[in-house]
């Protein structure tokens, strides 16, 4: 059963609010093809490192220097693949979080211009803490 337009708008507003409040948590909940692609790149990188290590050992054992160099290059490429796979996830999450506050009514322009993002967050957290302590008394 598809959502009505009103329900879709409410859902989008809740997503934007979640990204504005806690972008790391929101991005951890989101499952996307990028995560699967990153895992694939990481697995490919690990395989390249292992193959390169095998070639490097074979090159040393047979005293064929070119084989050892090819193994080293394969290991280097594998390490770069693994590194880029782990860096892709947080970068995508930061981009999504950066887009979230830019929504209409979210106040993203004041945060970006004045650098008020961290102090605004701390103010909200302090307000929440005060409300919790007042509600508990």
Helix (H), strand (E), coil (C) string for 69-109: HHHHHHHHHHHHHHHHHHHHHHHHHHHHHHHHHHCCCCCHH
Q: 36-72: per-residue pLDDT in tens?
A: 668 888 899 999 999 999 999 999 999 889 999 999 9
Domain boundaries, the chain: 11-103+115-136
DSSP 63: T
Instruction: Round to whole Å and give the CA distance between 25 and 29.
Output: 6
The residue with greater pLDDT, 118 or 4, is 4
Opening angle at CA 95, ends 92 and 98, nearest 5: 150
Q: Quick check: 84 and 46 in contact, CB under 8 A? A: no
Q: Could you tell me the pTM of the whole model?
A: 0.43
Averaged pLDDT of the chain = 75
Of the candidates 41, 22, 12, 27, which has an alpha carbon nearest to the alpha carbon of residue 95? 27
Q: How far apart are the first and last CA of the chain?
A: 45
């Amino acid at each position: 059963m598809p959502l009505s337009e009103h329900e879709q708008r409410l859902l989008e507003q809740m997503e934007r609010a979640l990204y504005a409040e806690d972008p790391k948590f929101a991005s951890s909940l989101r499952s996307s093809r990028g995560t699967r692609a990153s895992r694939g790149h990481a697995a490919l990188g690990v395989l390249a490192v292992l193959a390169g290590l095998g070639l490097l050992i074979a090159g040393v054992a047979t005293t064929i220097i070119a084989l050892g160099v090819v193994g080293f290059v394969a290991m280097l490429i594998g390490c770069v693949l693994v590194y880029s796979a782990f860096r892709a996830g947080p970068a995508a999450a930061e981009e999504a979080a950066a887009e979230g506050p830019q929504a209409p009514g979210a106040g993203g322009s004041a945060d970006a211009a004045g650098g008020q993002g961290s102090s605004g967050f701390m103010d909200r957290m302090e307000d929440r803490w005060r409300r919790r302590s007042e509600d508990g008394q």
